[in-house]
Homo-oligomer: A and B are copies of this chain.
Amino acid sequence: MANSTPTGDSRPTEPKTLVESAYRALRRDIIEGNLAPGEKLRVEHLKDNYGVGAGTLREALSLLISDALVVSQGQRGFRVAPVSLEDFEDITKTRVMLECDALRQSITMGDDAWEADLLAAFHRLTKAEEKRIGTDDREEWEERNRIFHEVLISACPSRWLKHFLSILYQQAERYRRLSLYLQPIPRDIHAEHEALMQAAMTRDTDKATAILGEHILLTFQSIQLIPKDQLNEKLAA
C-alpha cells in the first residue's frame, strides 16, 4: 500500500498492487452503499466481481477492517460493517470534539501557505457546487468537500488526530450517503463553508470552531428528522 506512515492519511496516491485496487474498489462500494450494511461478503463470489484471487481479496478485506468498514468473525467470514443511529451519533460527537480541537491548533499554527491552500480549496469547492447544479456530479463535490475539511486542519501538528479524523470523516460520509435519498438539501452548506473559511482566515478561533461544530452536528440532526419507519428500512440490514 502507498499509505505507509503509521498515522498517515488513508488516501494512497496510486494503486501499485492488486490488493490495493481491490481495497479501493471495495471501500468505494461500501461507502456509496452498493454493498449494503451488514451484508455478507463471500470471498468466492466477490473475487470474480473484482477480478482478483481469493487470497488477494481476503487481504483487501483485512485492510478494510482498519477503517471499520468491514467486520470479521472467527470462522464465519467477513461482513460489511453494520450501521445504527447510535453509531452515527457517536461518530458525529467524537468528530466534533476532535475536529474542533484540530482546527484550533491549525489556526494557531497555520502560516501563509496554509491560508493560500485554504482559499484555493474553498474556491475549488465553490466551483464544484456551481457545476453540480444541473448535473448529478456528486463525486467531484464529495472529493472537494473532503479536501476542504482536510486543508482546514492541515496545519494541526498532530498526525494521530488527523489520522483518527480521516477515519471518522469516512464513516460520516457513508452515513451521509445513506441518508441522501430521504433528505434532499435543506441546508445552505455553501454559506456554512464560507463563514467557516472567513473565520479561519481572520484567525477567529472561537468563531471558527463554533461554526465547524454546528456544521458537523447538522449533518447528524438532518437524518434524525426522517420518519422512523423509513429510517429503519434504510438502516436495518
Contact = CB atoms under 8 A, between A and B. Distances in A.
B73 A160 contact: no
A161 interface: yes
Interface string A84-120: 0001001101100100010000000000000000000
Interface residues of A, number: 40
Contact of A91 (B59, B91, B97, B160): B160
A236 interface: no
B82 A2 contact: no
B59 A160 contact: no
Contacts of A63: 62, 65
A168 interface: yes
Given A62-B59, A66-B65, A94 B161 contact: yes
Interface string A157-176: 11111011000100000000
Given A81-B6, A90-B158, A160-B90, A1 B73 contact: yes
A170 to B, nearest CB: 12
A55 to B, nearest CB: 5
A16 B75 contact: yes
Interface of A: 1-2, 4-7, 16-17, 55, 58-59, 62-63, 65-66, 68-69, 71-75, 79, 81-82, 87, 90-91, 93-94, 97, 101, 157-161, 163-164, 168
